[in-house]
Amino acid sequence: MRLRNHLLRWLLLPLALVWAIGFHLDYARSIAQANEAYDRTLAGSALAIAERVMVRDGAFSVDLPYAALEMLETRAQDRVFYKVSSERPAMVVTGHEDLPGPAAALEGDQPVFEDARYQGEAIRMVAVRRPLYEERGLGPVLVQVAETTAARQAMSTRILLDSALTQLTLIAAAALLITFGVRRGLEPLRRIRREIAGRDEFDLTPIDARAVPREVAPLIEALNLHTERQRQLNEAHRQFIADASHQLKTPLTVLKTQAALALQQQDVARMRAIVAEIHDATDMTARTINQLLALARSEPGHLMPTERVDLVEIARGATFDLLPNALDKGVELGFEDSGATPVQGQALLLRELVSNLTDNAIRYTPRGGAITVSVGQAPDGQALLQVQDNGPGIAPEHRAKVFDRFYRVNGALSDGCGLGLAIVRQICERHGALAELQTAASGQGLCVVVRFP
């Protein structure tokens, strides 16, 4: 369905309805105007006849003013009928005896008009009652004058056609103006269509919403929002490919070299040592791949539904999963909470956040160290997640940079790839949370504090 046709339909149909209503009202008005014009002459004829009714020698006498009747008969195609009758005695004095009487009894001497049928034709009739004061008690008399309605109908038709044509002309002019206005009003949309059609497939720049009507601006803003999400998704895909290429190229080369070296070894002990190195390198590569996937999932372009979740349950589960890693490293891993702590978020990403913070702490905390994961609430009601260790910590000058991808402070002291805190930052941004790096309460080590809204 075209918007232009839809608008024109809903604008022009009411105009047509208005014209139809106006035509109906004009029809009734044209009949009333024609009756008003002709009724004056008809009433004048009846009154003139009534004035000529008298009593002579005890009998009714009527001196008909034929001039009045002739004036009525000059109207094209119309015929005139009259009747003079008395109430006492009930008799027809003169005229057309079978002319029907008035439908209702007359009161007073004012003319009464009505429509009737006579000799198979529609007629307009007027009746006038005139009292007579005679000794013999004759009267009163009733004077009726009627005429056919051809002239009236011709006049009302002429009035109706003139009015209808005038209204139709105005409606047609209004329709043309509406059509032109709709076309002009939709021009900004056609301009946007031409602009979008002229773009290449890689152009995702926002559409300028300033030149469109206010009613269309929300649509353009929603389209720009969708385009921005698509741009972010494309950027996330591009970044993922770049990161994967950057991080996997060297480990895969090392694996290939070590595998080739193992194939050349005759010494079983030496071969087992190389295979062990391949196993460790494979673990590191798998972890890097998992972190890259987690980083891609946390990108803003990926829409994931949120729900009300308990941060305590998520953090406890993630901590428990990493307990074997801590035991292998010889690090004490503990968990503390102060009761259920609900937050609005995505459970999978929040679990990834806790896992990355805890895994980083395990990797950088030396054997014999201690790590504590705790969940609680700040005095202002914000949910807090803290991961605290007594490892080497991070110097203040490096704390702002460690959230960047692949940034490593102690690259030679661990097997990390510099993605853990980058993942943490993106997950925090997705949840409106804020991550801060602080010195541990003991004065040695690092404490990562995540504040949720």
Q: Burial level of 184, CB count in 10 A (0-12/13-18/19+)?
A: exposed
Same-domain check for residues 28 and 140: yes
pLDDT band at 121 (very low <50, low <70, confident <90, very high): very high
**Phi, psi angles (nearest 5°) of residue 312:** -65, -50
Give dist(CA 3, CA 427) in Å, integer. 42
pLDDT of residue 127: 94
Q: Is 433 found in the same domain as 333?
A: yes
Q: How many domains does the chain have?
A: 3
Burial class from Cβ neighbours inside 10 Å (0-12, 13-18, 19+) for residue 142 reads buried
**Looking at residues 380-388, what average pLDDT do you find?**
93
- Is residue 302 included in any domain, yes or no? no
C-alpha distances (whole Å) from 211 to each of 41, 208, 265 are: 66, 7, 74
Rg (CA), the chain: 51
Highest mean pLDDT out of 21-25, 75-79, 239-243, 420-424: 21-25
Among residues 265, 297, 329, the one where a domain terminates is 297
Task: Report the alpha-carbon angle 88-89-92, nearest 5.
Answer: 110
- Together in a domain, 111 and 63: yes
Answer yes or no: do 258 and 344 share one domain.
no
Residue 412 has pLDDT above 50, yes or no: no
Which residue segment(s) compose the domain that 292 sits in?
218-297
**Are 32 and 120 part of one and the same domain?**
yes
Rounded CA separation 363/235 (Å): 31
Q: How many CA atoms lie within 13 Å of 106's alpha carbon, on the beta-carbon side?
A: 22
On whether both 148 and 9 belong to a single domain, the answer is yes
Using the predicted structure, report yes or no on whether residue 437 has a pLDDT greater than 90.
Answer: yes
| pLDDT at 315 (0 to 100) | 95
Pair (40, 75) in one structural domain: yes
User: Is 70 exceeded by the pLDDT of residue 301?
Assistant: no
Specify the DSSP class assigned to residue 213. -
Q: What is the spatial distance between Cα 346 and Cα 316, in angstroms, rounded to a whole number?
A: 16
Domain-located, residue 186: no
Report yes or no on 409 lying in a domain: yes
pLDDT given at position 397: 84
pLDDT (mean) for 407-419 = 57
What are the residues whose beta carbons fall under 8 Å from the beta carbon of 3, sequence distance 6 or more? 186, 189
Greater model confidence, 384 or 71: 384
Report if residue 76 sits inside a domain: yes
Which of these three, 268, 297, 326, is where a domain ends?
Answer: 297
Same-domain check for residues 21 and 135:
yes
pLDDT tens-digit series, residues 152-173: 888 888 888 888 888 889 888 9
Q: Read off the pLDDT of residues 217-273 as tens digits, 9 standing for 90 and up.
A: 888 888 888 888 878 777 766 766 666 665 566 667 767 777 887 778 777 788 788
pTM of the model: 0.47
**Residue 116 predicted with pLDDT over 50:** yes
Mark whether 311 and 292 lie in a shared domain: no
Contact (Cβ atoms closer than 8 angstroms) between residue 366 and residue 344: no
Task: Evaluate whether residue 270 is within a structural domain.
Answer: yes
User: 253 vs 47, which has greater pLDDT?
Assistant: 47
pLDDT attached to residue 9: 82
For 385-408, write each residue's pLDDT tens digit.
Answer: 999 999 888 888 888 888 877 666
pLDDT at residue 284 is higher than 60: yes
Give the pLDDT confidence score for residue 362 in this predicted structure.
Answer: 92
pLDDT at residue number 430: 85
Instruction: Report if residue 189 sits inside a domain.
Output: no
Q: Which residues contact 126 (CB under 8 A, 6 or more apart)?
A: 39, 42, 43, 46, 111, 112, 113, 144, 145, 146
Report the pLDDT averaged over residues 74-83.
76
pLDDT band (50, 70, 90) for residue 352:
confident
Whether the predicted pLDDT of 309 surpasses 90: yes
Q: How confident is the model at residue 185 (pLDDT cuts 50, 70, 90)?
A: confident
Give the sheet arrangement for strand 121-130, strand by strand.
91-95, 80-86, 141-148, 121-130, 112-118
Mean of per-residue pLDDT scores for the chain: 82
Q: State whether 12 and 125 are in the same domain.
A: yes
Helix, strand or coil, per DSSP, at residue 307: strand
